Amino acid sequence: MNDSGKILGIASDHGGYEMKQFLAEKLKEAGYKVNDYGTHSESSVDYPDFIHPLASDINSGKLKRGIILCGSGNGAQITANKYANVRAALGWSEEQAKLAREHNDSNIISLPGRFVSFELAWKIVNRFLNTNFEGGRHSRRVEKISQLINN
Ligand code: RB5
């Protein structure tokens, strides 16, 4: 990944807060610059309030990659995918994260803070950040995702 890919956004609600803190630290140790969009405590909040700003920055091209979390990963993913240039994939396994990059050119991974271990979450994030898009027939399919929105 080039240098712009070394700047990451991370955001969660309370359901993903502890895991977000863990991942942000690990990513900084690994040499990434991490922009933390919150939340900043375990207090109950509404996930769209934190996911929208990150997804908007991915959509505009200000950020290349993002990591989002909520309890299940679902609400965060649904919110992020409201943006035309966002392809947010659920991250429940390393293989799923790998396929999200290889086949879907996914630019956001959405983790279920309440359903995977910290250790697995770190592996999922690494796989997501270090796998390239395969292109080829998958480019055609990814392009069609946006075509459908515009029709
Ligand atoms: C919060 O309780 C929970 O609903 C949220 O973290 C997320 O799982 C929503 O999809």
Q: Which of 39, 47, 92 to mutate to test the pocket of ligand 1 (most atoms within 8 A of CB)?
A: 47
Using one digit for the tens of pLDDT, what is the confidence trace for 49-80? 999 999 999 999 999 999 999 999 999 999 99
What is the pTM for the complete model shown? 0.95
Return mean pLDDT, the chain.
Answer: 95
E runs forming strands in the chain: 7-12, 33-36, 65-70, 88-90, 108-112
Question: What phi, psi does 112 have (nearest 5°)?
Answer: -90, 95
Classify domain 3-145 by CATH number.
Answer: 3.40.1400.10
Contacts of 66 (CB under 8 A, 6+ apart): 8, 9, 10, 11, 54, 55, 57, 58, 80, 88, 107, 108, 109
Domain parsing of the chain, residue ranges = 3-145
Residue of the CA atom closest to atom 5 of ligand 1: 71
Kindly give the number of the ligand 1 atom that is closest to the alpha carbon of 14: 6
Kindly give the number of the ligand 1 atom that is closest to the alpha carbon of 112: 8
> What's the confidence (pLDDT) of residue 147?
79
70 lines ligand 1 (CB under 6 A): yes
Asked if the model's pLDDT at residue 116 lies above 70, the reply is: yes
